[in-house]
Amino acid sequence: MNDKIYLDYAATTPLDEQVFEVMKPYFSQAFGNASSVHQFGQAAQKGVINARHQVAEFLNCQADEVIFISGATEGNNTVIKGIGGNKKLAEKIGAKPHIIISKIEHECILASSERLEKEGMAEVAFLPVNSEGLVEISELQKNIKPNTILVSIMYANNETGAVEPIEEIGQFLKKINQGREQKIYFHTDASQALNYLDCDVQKLGVDLLTLSGHKIYGPKGVGALFVRQGTPVARFMDGGEQEFKMRAGTHNTPGIVGLGAAISVLKQKNNVNSNIKQLRDKLINGVLKNIPQSFINGSLEKRLPNNANFRFEGVEGEAIIVALDLEGIAVSTGSACAARSLSPSHVLGAMGLTPSQSHSSVRFSLGCQTTDEQIEKVLEVLPKIIEKLRNLSGDLNESAKIKEKAKLPDDFGC
Amino acid sequence: MYSDKVISHFQNPHNMGKIEGPDGLGEVGNPICGDMMRIYLKVGRNGKSEEFIEDIKFETLGCVAAIATSSMITELAKGKTFSEALKIEFSDVKNSLGSLPPIKLHCADLAVKALRAAIEDYKERNG
């Protein structure tokens, strides 16, 4: 795989070698069940405790506010269902709980919220975003109701890298909460943000924050949920007293140790990150300069330094991805989770892009191992691919635009 | 995800492009699905004075499967009489390509529809 070029770090990252070394003993030496009383258990527990402190230090919270989970999807399900679908909380407020999320959240937030709505457990407001992919506080303000109990807005978007104004929202909600009987809890999914943004939960003003190991050069299958003391999250997983009785299940000790190690390595990566930004900017400038009718989706300024989401009119994204893959370059259309679905990206749609514009979009996400040579290679190969695919599509893009204007019904049998 | 044959047609599509002043032209697809196809026909008459597809070309804006199925249908239809060409089913396109991922089966159907639309267009023009 060495000559291959990986530019899909937003989907997942390779495990850091240093982190792997730290994890190794916990597979077969300190293999005990971290809940066991004997020394095997104690050795494993030590690893878990240490990791919890590492995560807490990074987030600037108490260690007992960190709950280890299987990943961001579990964390996000836990928050939405454990607060939005929390029966005790509903009884307390004497109304159906109301939750506010944005239209560009990850599928796990959207699907969990839609389920609550469908089952009549909660009301859900889906906040729009502007053309840059950013949530506006005025929209949030308009949607707050007396029974609102939760606001969940992602820190950085997985498709466009758009960085949402979490700190501002935190301050805004803090003010609002002063005059309310029922507090509005604030959650952010920080899966994409951790590598590049300040995740101090006190500064952000969040009550809940989700993070994932495999997005930060840590292992897959592990993540953490920050739950501020006193935040009423109903338990999602029953059957054990692990994680302060908030998440049952034997500790994934090697994974948890790896997550702790990965998060403590992050702080040392500032230099690497500025290099990533330079390479990303080179990619953006090179593409926009050399490929006609190419555009960047989303804000250039409020964007993760490793993300470039392009749109190439008159070409379909999947065809670009496969053509690049045949050249040994790995990128993706938006989210890896939606890669096998045919519907256009809900994120780009929320930003006002037409379905055919969404279909012609491709995400490049850079990371630690991205080199200048790799970006040079992309800039050499990509223009030829786009040209070839445009030759194939003739002027069908114009035809698509006309059909889109005619507003075809949603049910078209594809 | 894709068979070698699909990839081969994607990389080296057969009969791509336009026919200037075509005898028949079919355009199908929907921008919401992301796939649009156009088929151009040049129609001739064989020894039995039956109409047949003398030349066929395609243009496609779409995914790998859409491009490969368009390429394949032009291969299957070229040289065939109308009655033979109209018998081509989506399963013929699929099988000729080895296989298609289930989510992409509609692309084979779209290719068949494009061919039929082009033949239909010819028939309408020639009343």
Q: Looking at the predicted structure, is the pLDDT value of residue A19 above 90?
A: yes
Query: What are the structure tokens assigned to A286, written together?
Result: 């090179």
Inter-chain Cβ pairs, chain A and chain B, closer than 8 A: 92
Question: Alpha-carbon distance A364 to A370, whole Å?
Answer: 11
Average pLDDT on A145-154 reads 97
CB atoms within 10 A of CB A21: 10
The confidence score (pLDDT) of residue B26 equals: 97
The confidence score (pLDDT) of residue A288 equals: 98
The confidence score (pLDDT) of residue A407 equals: 62
Residues of B in contact with A391 (CB under 8 A): 16-17
Q: Is the Cα dihedral A411, B3, B5, B7 positive or negative?
A: positive
**How does pLDDT run across B5-55, given as a tens digit for each residue?**
999 999 999 999 999 999 999 999 988 778 999 999 999 999 999 999 999
Instruction: Report yes or no: B59 at the A interface, CB cutoff 8 Å.
Output: yes
The confidence score (pLDDT) of residue B9 equals: 97
- Return mean pLDDT, chain B: 95
Q: What angle do CA A369, A374, A380 make, to 5 degrees?
A: 165
Q: Looking at the predicted structure, is the pLDDT value of residue B72 above 70?
A: yes
**How does pLDDT run across A215-262, given as a tens digit for each residue?**
999 999 999 999 999 999 999 899 999 999 999 999 999 999 999 999
Chain-chain contact of A396 with B67 (C-beta, under 8 angstroms)? no
* B68 → chain A, closest CA residue: A319
Average pLDDT on A148-176 reads 98
Instruction: Report yes or no: B76 at the A interface, CB cutoff 8 Å.
Output: no
Question: Which amino acids of A are annotated catalytic?
Answer: 337
Instruction: Report yes or no: A410 at the B interface, CB cutoff 8 Å.
Output: yes
The confidence score (pLDDT) of residue A408 equals: 56
Q: Looking at the predicted structure, is the pLDDT value of residue A27 above 50?
A: yes
Kindly report, as residue ranges, where domains of CATH 3.40.640.10 are found in chain A: 17-267
Question: Alpha-carbon distance A199 to A197, whole Å?
Answer: 6
- Return mean pLDDT, chain A: 94
**How does pLDDT run across A369-399, given as a tens digit for each residue?**
999 999 999 999 999 999 999 999 998 988 8
Nearest to residue A391, comparing CAs of B28, B68, B29, B60?
Answer: B60
**Most A CBs within 10 Å, among B1, B61, B104, B110, to test the A interface:** B61
Q: Looking at the predicted structure, is the pLDDT value of residue A5 above 90?
A: yes
Domain covering A5-12+270-393 assigned CATH 3.90.1150.10 in the classification: yes
Domain covering A17-267 assigned CATH 3.40.640.10 in the classification: yes
pLDDT band at A413 (very low <50, low <70, confident <90, very high): very low
Residues of A in contact with B105 (CB under 8 A): none
Residue with tokens 């960085």: A163
Min distance A339 CA to chain B CA atoms (Å): 11
Question: Alpha-carbon distance A243 to A247, whole Å?
Answer: 5
- Residue A191: is it exposed, middle or buried by C-beta count within 10 angstroms (0-12/13-18/19+)? buried
Question: Alpha-carbon distance A347 to A396, whole Å?
Answer: 24
Min distance A391 CA to chain B CA atoms (Å): 8
* A405 → chain B, closest CA residue: B31
The confidence score (pLDDT) of residue B1 equals: 83
Q: pLDDT: is A318 or A405 the higher one?
A: A318
CB atoms within 10 A of CB A132: 15
Chain-chain contact of A319 with B10 (C-beta, under 8 angstroms)? yes
Q: Which residues neighbour A380 within 8 Å (Cβ) at sequence distance 6 or greater?
A: none
Cα dist. A145→A80, A87, A205, B32 in Å? 17, 19, 20, 35
Q: Which DSSP letter does residue A11 get?
A: T
pLDDT band at A341 (very low <50, low <70, confident <90, very high): low
Chain-chain contact of B32 with A392 (C-beta, under 8 angstroms)? no
Q: Which residues neighbour A288 within 8 Å (Cβ) at sequence distance 6 or greater?
A: A294, A295, A296
Q: Which fold has domain B4-125?
A: Sufe protein. Chain: A (3.90.1010)
> pTM (2 decimals)?
0.94
Q: What angle do CA A164, A281, A347 make, to 5 degrees?
A: 35
Average pLDDT on A65-78 reads 98
Question: Alpha-carbon distance B104 to A214, whole Å?
Answer: 30
Q: What are the phi and psi torsion angles at A124 (to 5°)?
A: -125, 135
Q: What are the phi and psi torsion angles at A104 (to 5°)?
A: -105, 15
The partner residue sitting opposite A408, judged by closest CB among B32, B38, B110, is B32
Average pLDDT on B50-68 reads 96
The partner residue sitting opposite A316, judged by closest CB among B38, B62, B106, is B62
* B4 → chain A, closest CA residue: A326
The confidence score (pLDDT) of residue B31 equals: 80
**Most A CBs within 10 Å, among B10, B15, B20, B32, to test the A interface:** B32
- The three-class DSSP label of residue A184 is coil
**How does pLDDT run across A119-142, given as a tens digit for each residue?**
999 999 999 999 999 999 999 999
Kindly list the domain boundaries of chain B, sorted by start residue: 4-125
Chain-chain contact of A316 with B32 (C-beta, under 8 angstroms)? no
According to DSSP H, which parts of A80-122 are helical? 87-93, 107-118
Query: What are the structure tokens assigned to B84, written together?
Result: 């033979």
Question: Alpha-carbon distance B88 to B81, whole Å?
Answer: 11
Min distance B48 CA to chain A CA atoms (Å): 35
**Cβ B43 vs Cβ B54: under 8 Å:** yes
Question: Alpha-carbon distance A340 to B122, whole Å?
Answer: 37
pLDDT band at A297 (very low <50, low <70, confident <90, very high): very high
The confidence score (pLDDT) of residue A411 equals: 45
Largest CA distance in chain A: 72
